[in-house]
Chains A and B, each alone.
Chain A
Amino acid sequence: MLESINVTKKFLNKTAVEDVTMTLEKGHIYAILGPNGSGKTTWMKMVAGLIKPTSGTIRLDGKEIDIQSRKEIAYMSTEPYFYDWMTIKDVGKYYNDFFEDFSMERFAYLVNEMSLEMNLKLKTLSSGMMAKLKIAATMARDAKIYMLDEPLNGIDLIARDEVMKTIITYANEDKMLIVSSHLVEELEMIVDTAIFIKNARLQGIYGLESLRINEGISIADKYREVYGKC
């Protein structure tokens, strides 16, 4: 269980996240949605223990987030972050060196599944290949929470399908996945709950099926409704 209690993050001249309170449960895939700059990434970085909240607390299974939480939370940033001297295999070794829950076998399987090769140099990868590699490295961990920041950004249709397939494959009742995107439609099918962030605040949390059952609309429709008028 992940609790975000009155979490606020202020930077020099702007409030990136303001008073976000919500509780997320394992066994779900959450979409965290909102336009660029709405505070999705900042909130996720706080959960990942990369940034400290200005005020408020974040707890994983009752324990406040700290450096040790990074053992249980796998965070993937939007931009490529690997060292440019690395090969795909080096990336696996790096994760293997630092994360006890990382499985080299699973990584090798995913790399193969995504039609990448271990000896490829990162400098030669296209943006789609890089996006797939980031997913492979992150999902080869056996973490409690996976947070993927814009995993579908700037990649082609085939790579997108492979990424989605990997996400679905490793989601189970013991895991929590939080996937951010500003491309709502693409994510809609694979999530069960959508968290809307608007102007640094939590706007609302919507169940995929309950929206369809109760209001007869999709998450994308709701998104248009919420963000269309600003």
Chain B
Amino acid sequence: MGKLLKYELRKSLGVKGVVLVISCIFELLFLIGLYSSKETLIPIGITLLYFDAFISVVVMGIASIRLLHNDLNTKQSYMLFMTPNSSYKILGAKVIESFMSILIAGVFFTSLGFLDFTLLIAQNGGFKEAFDFIYTAYQKIFEIEINPSDVISVIALLLISWFYFITVAYLAQVISATFLNGRKFNGIISFFIGLAIIILEEYAVNNFVSISATGSVINHNILQGVVYLTLAGITYAVTAWIMDNKLSV
């Protein structure tokens, strides 16, 4: 399993490298703006980093789905399936790699955000006043208390739900490569199957969570996160079972 994981990491290295380099460039823009006279670079850097964070997580996920597609449908598939490893292990390594990548990216971008925010305040007192003003106004209008742990729980939930989406996309890929293999439009059909699974489960999850969750934002988010992780686990097990029984390499 460790070795499978090692190669999954190696295969996704390219995308991660690109993400890191781009993020570094944007961060550099921000820092140059902060510590030089070119202040216009500050908002540019922040905006770019903000979108970069989202897009990076999305791109990494899509890249991992694409990688699975290649590992199932191209000659490259022998590399995994000639080894004495079950589909549970082969897919397991991919799921763990995805989860870890999303987690690390989440921690990386959140930390970077907090760091840049702190630097900004330290460098520019006026910004703190402006931020405090917006923050209080926001609290008055929506009558809710925002604290860092809530923010983190929202980010974590976003990441977990994205991870769950990826496992469903894996399932769709495997369905496309097994039951629909050789049929017309198998890519599109499997995409809609995946979409249908997500919509149905999303509907069920929202009902379940709104009934069960009580009180704070955090409680709500934790419950929803646990539900998503459970669903991801189930999706993984179903996907691996199909691979084990129906896949023709």
Contact = CB atoms under 8 A, between A and B. Distances in A.
B109 interface: no
B123 interface: no
Interface string A39-77: 000000100101110000000000000011111000101
Contact of B79 (A12, A51, A82): A82
A148 B48 CA distance: 52
Contacts of B76: 81, 83
B84 A81 contact: no
Contacts, number: 55
B83 A98 contact: yes
Given A80-B75, A81-B75, A83-B76, A99 B83 contact: yes
Q: Which secondary structure dominates where chain A touches chain B?
A: loop
A50 B77 CA distance: 10
Interface string B68-100: 000000011111011111100000000000000
Contacts of A50: 78, 81-82, 248-249
Given A12-B183, A50-B248, A51-B249, A68 B77 contact: no
B203 to A, nearest CB: 33
A98 B84 contact: yes
A83 B82 contact: no
B3 A98 contact: yes
A97 to B, nearest CB: 5
A70 B90 CA distance: 14
B38 interface: no
B86 A94 contact: no
B245 interface: yes
B182 interface: yes
Nearest to B86: A67
Interface string B1-45: 001001100110010000000000000000000000000000000
Given A70-B83, A81-B76, A99-B83, A51 B3 contact: no
Interface of B: 3, 6-7, 10-11, 14, 75-79, 81-86, 181-183, 245, 248-249
28 contacts: A11-B182, A11-B248, A12-B182, A45-B248, A48-B82, A50-B82, A50-B249, A51-B248, A51-B249, A52-B245, A67-B84, A67-B86, A70-B82, A70-B83, A75-B82, A77-B75, A80-B75, A81-B76, A81-B77, A81-B78, A81-B79, A83-B11, A97-B3, A98-B3, A98-B83, A98-B84, A99-B83, A99-B84
Given A70-B84, A77-B78, 6 more contacts: A12-B183, A50-B82, A50-B249, A52-B245, A70-B82, A98-B3
Interface of A: 11-13, 45, 48, 50-52, 67-71, 75, 77, 79-83, 85, 94, 97-99
- In order of increasing CB-CB distance, the 5 nearest A-B pairs are A81-B78, A98-B83, A70-B84, A50-B249, A81-B75
